[in-house]
Amino acid sequence: MAISEQWDNYVVEYEPRLFSTHELFGNDNPLTVEIGFGMGDSLLEMAIANPQRNFLGIEVHKPGVGKLLHGVAESGLTNVKVFCHDAIDILAHCIGAGCIDTLLIFFPDPWHKKRHNKRRLVQTEFITGLLPLLADAGRIHLATDWEPYAEHMVEAMEAVQGMTNANGAGQFWPLPDRPGTKFERRGIRLGHGVWDLLYIKR
């Protein structure tokens, strides 16, 4: 229901052109972008807690978009917009240089099988291509609950020229400032680990 009622209020239709923060939100507040927000629980919580920041969520899964739109409308938020389109296109065509203050990639598909590892989103080349979109001292926050992917993330990120690990080379972030998700909490109850990384553009 929310997806039809709220779509026009919060979803930005993809066009291969630059969208300024002011065009999307009517202000120039710092922009947080989350790639693949899933059901949107953490994005909603962050947007509620940080009204002085703008949040742009990118997700192709329509049920997740619908759930987020419901929460955003119910909370009366004005600092959230959504692209329901492939993130690669959005990042390549729609976001201008220096626009992103914080980029979030939480629990991306780990592509468990070795032959599929190259499909993982977090790759040195991909992140390097995003650096021009980050503001000075812009942040990239990554999280995964799959240890082999966590190790892959460290390897990929440490090879990016122009970013520094905020917790020291090769180190994970022990106390990350992000909301937990119900899937994460369930995993922790089952004894699964979660690994966060924070990198800062230098």
List per-residue pLDDT tens for the chain, 202 residues long: 668 899 999 999 999 999 999 999 999 999 999 999 999 999 999 999 999 999 999 999 999 999 999 999 999 999 999 999 999 999 999 999 999 999 999 999 885 676 656 778 999 999 999 999 999 999 999 999 899 999 999 999 999 999 999 999 999 999 999 998 776 777 778 778 899 999 999 9
Q: Residue 180: its pLDDT value, please?
A: 81
Q: Residue 10: its pLDDT value, please?
A: 97
Q: Residue 192: its pLDDT value, please?
A: 80
The tokens describing 61, both together, are 């899964």
**Residue range(s) defining the domain that contains residue 136:** 2-201
Q: Residue 191: its pLDDT value, please?
A: 77
- C-alpha dihedral, 37 to 60 to 156 to 102, nearest 10°: -40
Q: What is the number of alpha carbons within 13 Å of residue 10 lying toward its C-beta?
A: 32
Q: Residue 185: its pLDDT value, please?
A: 78
* 46 CB burial (10 A radius; 0-12, 13-18, 19+): buried
Compute CA distances 98 → 117, 133, 136, whole Å: 30, 5, 7
Domain count along the chain: 1
What residues are paired with 142 via a beta bridge? Answer: 105, 197
Query: What is the C-alpha to C-alpha distance for residues 96 and 70, in angstroms, rounded to an integer?
Result: 28
Any idea which residues carry the catalytic annotation? 109
User: Does an H or E element contain 153, and which?
Assistant: helix 147-158
Query: What is the C-alpha to C-alpha distance for residues 84 and 40, in angstroms, rounded to an integer?
Result: 12
Query: Which of 52, 65, 54 has its CA nearest to residue 19?
Result: 54
* 125 CB burial (10 A radius; 0-12, 13-18, 19+): exposed
Query: Which of 29, 38, 154, 167 has its CA nearest to residue 100?
Result: 29
Query: What is the C-alpha to C-alpha distance for residues 100 and 103, in angstroms, rounded to an integer?
Result: 7
Q: What is the CATH number of the domain that holds 167?
A: 3.40.50.150
Q: Give helix 41-49 / helix 62-75 axis angle, nearest 10°.
A: 30
User: Does an H or E element contain 8, and which?
Assistant: helix 2-10
pTM above 0.85, yes or no: yes
Q: Which amino acid is at 131?
A: L
Q: Residue 187: its pLDDT value, please?
A: 72
